[in-house]
Structure 1
């Protein structure tokens, strides 16, 4: 049997933009993606602390060390600049693997700089 577990999380990061006219996704500072072990194109869940919205999309790289967190396309309607969100990715593991697996947890500062 396999189960889905948290692979990585960027906890309480600030939204820097919302671009309704982009084709979709979330743009994440490449340094944050690296710290959280999230790759471009990976499916992620977004939880908005400010309004309770939850959505799924895929990650694209933003400029390294820019602090950028931009929701694109329809997801832009679910956030406002300055909202605090959590970005979560999941992996599928066997129960035995899941018992010993340690997710990458990232706790950025108020300017979205990566802290581990």
Structure 2
């Protein structure tokens, strides 16, 4: 059996741009992507904490060190600059690998600079049957 687990979370990033005329995607500062273990074109879910909107898209790299969190394409209608968002990515994990699976949670400041990264072991050895 495979389980779908949250593998990466960027917590309370601030939307810096919304570009309706781009084809689609979420542009992120590569420093955020690296801290969360995310790669270009990876699927992500974005949760807008101001209005409850939730959407999925894929990632593209912005300028390194810029703090960019830009929602592109149709999803730009679901955010406003300044909205706090959570960016999530999931992984399919085989049952026999659950004990080794680690999730990464990235906390950022008001300028989308990484403040800290926490890692969480999903299960303890005794919990896997």
TM-score by length of 1: 0.97
Is the 8 Å Cα contact of residues 5 and 98 (structure 1) preserved in structure 2? no
Runs of 4+ that moved beyond 2 A:
none
Residue number in structure 2 paired with 1:113: 113
Matching of residues 16-31 of structure 1 within 5 Å: 16-31=16-31
Is the 8 Å Cα contact of residues 9 and 89 (structure 1) preserved in structure 2? yes
For residue 33 of structure 1, report the CA deviation from its aligned partner. 0.2
Give the structure, 1 or 2, with the largest relative contact order (CA under 8 Å, sep 6 or more).
1
Residue number in structure 2 paired with 1:88: 88
Does residue 1:4 correspond to 2:26, yes or no? no
Higher Rg: 2
Query: 2:85, 2:14 → 1: CA distance?
Result: 6
| Counterpart secondary structure, 2:108 | coil
For residue 47 of structure 1, report the CA deviation from its aligned partner. 0.3
| Counterpart secondary structure, 1:77 | helix
Q: Which runs of 5+ in 1 are unaligned?
A: none
Residue number in structure 2 paired with 1:100: 100
| Counterpart secondary structure, 1:7 | strand
For residue 29 of structure 1, report the CA deviation from its aligned partner. 0.5
Count, aligned residues: 116
Residue number in structure 1 paired with 2:61: 61
| Counterpart secondary structure, 1:107 | strand
Deviations 1:17-63 (A, max 9, x none): 00000000000010000000000000000000000000000000011
For residue 100 of structure 1, report the CA deviation from its aligned partner. 3.1
TM-score by length of 2: 0.87
Query: 1:24, 1:72 → 2: CA distance?
Result: 5
